Structure 1
Amino acid sequence: MEYNYSEEEKAQRKKIKRKQMVKDYFFITFGILLYAVGFNAFILPEKVVMGGMTGASSLLYYAFGLPPGIMLWFMNVALLILAYKALSKQFVIRTVIGVTIISFFIDALRPVFMTHPVITAGEDKFMHVLIGGMLSGAGLGIVFSHNGSTGGTDILVALLGKYTRMSFGRAMQMIDMLIISSSYFLFHSMETIVYGLCFTFVAAYVCDYIINGTRQTVQFLIISKKYDEIADIVNKRMHRGVTVIQGTGWYKKSDVKLLIILTRKYESQEVFNTIKRIDPNAMVSQSFCQGVFGEGFDKIK
């Protein structure tokens, strides 16, 4: 049976949705700005080619002097036209917005960092690649965490997925390797390929950490005779839900109460301190969860 919302509830839901959308686009813009800074300040001056469409656009810049931002926009739009039927309408809209913003920032910031360079010749190139990878990865992580898209090889992968049986991960690796390896024909240097791979790995790791690190939660399973005291403090002071399950200790065949508590990673030490203060002899199991969705945690998106 479908629930019929009142006019007031509909207005409230629209207001919340609008607020969330404004928040998402703010962080998407900030994330793209961070990515563009890492790319322009540390990667472009070192002539490193990474994976993705940004790597392809930088190849065109190194070879022919074509503006990387504009080339990135045209390549993404061309891919979107080719793969339009394989993509959702929402993905296309968000990708066009994301690609337009990233293309603007890349070309707008390029002359700034050319006039006022952050790095100088002779400095550690590997360190520059690491910094650029971390900034770019952090920027992409923020974008993806707020339902944004920068297009790129995601579109190609969607297109390949429609006409071939190739997995997402393998298709992404193949395309990135092809773009990075293409730099050899321009620079005739294996070192450039290695730097491009290092950037891609670092950016991917940081991006994954940003997306999943904030979602990491801790699950506690606690068996204690003073379960009610522990549950009350966690519930009232930490404002975290507690589930109490009736169990049986098989060794003594006695009834026990099992507490299930889910908290953020940074709150876990407070739970430990609470247990130690109330019942040092309690049996505690701690495990990490990749993500918890629902009331008090992340929303299902």
Structure 2
Amino acid sequence: MYGIAIVVHYLTRDMFAIWPDGIPIGLFGLIVNIPLTMAGIKILGPRFGVKTVVGFVLASFFIDGLAWLRPVSDAPLVNDVLLSCVFGGVLAGAGLGFIFKSRATSGGSDIIAMIIAKYTRLQLGKLMIYVDSVIVLTGLIAFKDWHVPLYSWVVIYITGRSIDMILEGADYNKALLIISKKHVDIKNKILNDLDRGGTYLKGEGMFTGEEKQIIYTVVSRREVAVLEEYISNIDPGAFITVMDAREILGEGFQSLRKKVEDR
């Protein structure tokens, strides 16, 4: 909604005496979000609650409040557009992440995507990208400059990554699948030296038909290097798959109960 508000802000310059620079972005977002939220409650049920209303009201207040406090409200903080996109996307994503973490929505395109999802059964994540992309293209129509949508898509991507980091954490632990004839030695290394746990998975070689013991374990990035060096010394022919594990819940890592209670 604030993307549309930016377009409206620039298209309404000198149209209203009370707003010579154009309709304030925060005010327009607030005006549009009120009926959208009412429609969302009517169509989707009262799932948004007070938190969503507080969220978009405060967002509108701070957008216009910060613009009012600055001597030149629409002057860029820095002249580097890409730098503004990166830091703006990170900050916006962090804020949205905290909103989603508190089981609320930010209003606007979230509600539009949810309403479309109800009637089309399309995935909500994809719909949000589609809706935001359509809004971004309105910037191209209004400003007739490809820089606007291209930079906007950069912001959308960075915002999404920031949201994921807030919701899932940034531990960046590694999940390992290890196939080795020296699995007993590797197990002892994991349990005794690294003080980590793991699980044996039974497997069978596709070519040889030989039964194999597969070790599944999760360790830190530092411990990956320690484990790889150890395995290379005892079994250079071992097969190891290393995968990113953005969020680990359970013993030795973050408590599942604590995470749920903190929401």
TM-score of the pair, normalised by structure 1:
0.62
1:284 aligns with 2:239: yes
Counterpart of 1:199? 155
| 2:91 corresponding residue in structure 1 | 135
Distance 2:155 2:120 in 1: 28
Q: Quick check: 1:218–1:262 contact (8 Å CA) kept in 2?
A: yes
Q: How far off its partner does 1:212 sit?
A: 5.6
Give the root-mean-square deviation of aligned CA atoms.
4.0
> In structure 1, what is the equivalent of residue 77 of structure 2?
119
Aligned partners of 1:57 and 1:68 also within 8 Å: yes
286 and 115 in structure 1: CA distance in 2 versus 1, 3 angstrom threshold: same
Deviation of 1:243 after TM superposition, in Å, equals 1.6
| Contact 1:248–1:255, Cα closer than 8 Å, also in 2 | yes
Matched, 1:156 2:104: no
Please name the residue that 1:56 is paired with: 4
Q: 1:263 to 1:178 in 2, by over 3 A?
A: same
Aligned partners of 1:134 and 1:226: how far apart in 2?
Answer: 45
Moved more, 249-258 or 190-199: 249-258
Match of 1:75 in 2: 32
TM-superposed CA distance for 1:269, in Å, is 2.5
Q: Deviations over 1:152-186 (max 9, x none)?
A: 21101111223345553554344323322333554
Structure 1 residues 282 and 138 mapped into 2: Cα distance closer, same or farther (>3 Å)? Answer: farther
- Relative to 1, partners in 2 of residues 1:267 and 1:152: Cα closer, same or farther, differing over 3 Å? farther
Match of 2:15? none
The change in CA–CA distance for 1:109 and 1:274 in structure 2 (over 3 A counts) is farther
In 2, are the aligned partners of 1:80 and 1:92 still within 8 Å (CA)? no
Residue 199 of structure 2 aligns to which amino acid in structure 1? T
1:15-52 per-residue CA deviation (whole Å, 9 max, x = no partner) reads xxxxxxxxxxxxxxxxxxxxxxxxxxxxxxxxxxxxxx
CA distance in 2, matches of 1:224, 1:165: 45
- C-alpha distance in 1, partners of 2:208/2:142? 74
- The question of whether the paired residues in 2 share the 8 Å contact of 1:222 and 1:282 is answered with no
Please give the TM-score of this superposition, normalised by the length of structure 2: 0.69
The 1:224/1:157 distance shift into structure 2, 3 A limit, reads closer
Q: Contact 1:216/1:288 (CA < 8 Å) preserved in 2?
A: no
Secondary structure, aligned partner of 2:96: helix
CA-CA distance at 1:82 after TM superposition: 0.5
Shift of 1:247: 6.1
Residue 241 of structure 1: how far off its partner (Å): 1.7
* Counterpart-to-counterpart distance in 1, 2:176 and 2:249: 17
- Which runs of 5 or more structure 2 residues have no equivalent in the other structure? 13-18
Question: Following the alignment from structure 2 to structure 1, what is the Cα–Cα distance between the partners of residues 154 and 201?
Answer: 48
Shift of 1:260: 1.8
Q: Partner of 1:183 in structure 2? A: 139
Tell me which of 107, 111, 117 is aligned to 2:64: 107
> Which one-letter code corresponds to 1:129 in the other structure?
C
Query: How far apart are the structure 2 equivalents of 1:246 and 1:177?
Result: 46
The 1:223/1:191 distance shift into structure 2, 3 A limit, reads closer
Local SS of the residue matching 2:114: helix
SS of residue in 1 equivalent to 2:239: strand
CA 198–254 in structure 1, closer or farther in 2 if over 3 Å, else same: closer
Deviation at 1:205, TM superposition (A): 4.5
Give 1:281 deviation, angstroms.
Answer: 3.5
CA contact (8 A) 2:179 2:215 kept: yes
More helix by share: 1
> Partners in 2 of 1:188 and 1:244 — Cα distance?
59
| Identity percentage of aligned residues | 25
Structure 1 residues without counterparts, runs of 5 or longer: 1-52
Tell me the number of residue pairs that the alignment of Structure 1 and Structure 2 aligns: 246
Q: Secondary structure at the match of 1:182?
A: helix
Partners of 2:152 and 2:89 lie apart in 1 by: 10
Q: Is the 8 A contact 1:59 1:183 kept in 2?
A: yes
- DSSP 3-state at the match of 1:295: coil
**Whole-angstrom distance in 2 between the partners of 1:198 and 1:252:** 48
Q: Is contact 1:140-1:207 (8 Å) kept?
A: yes
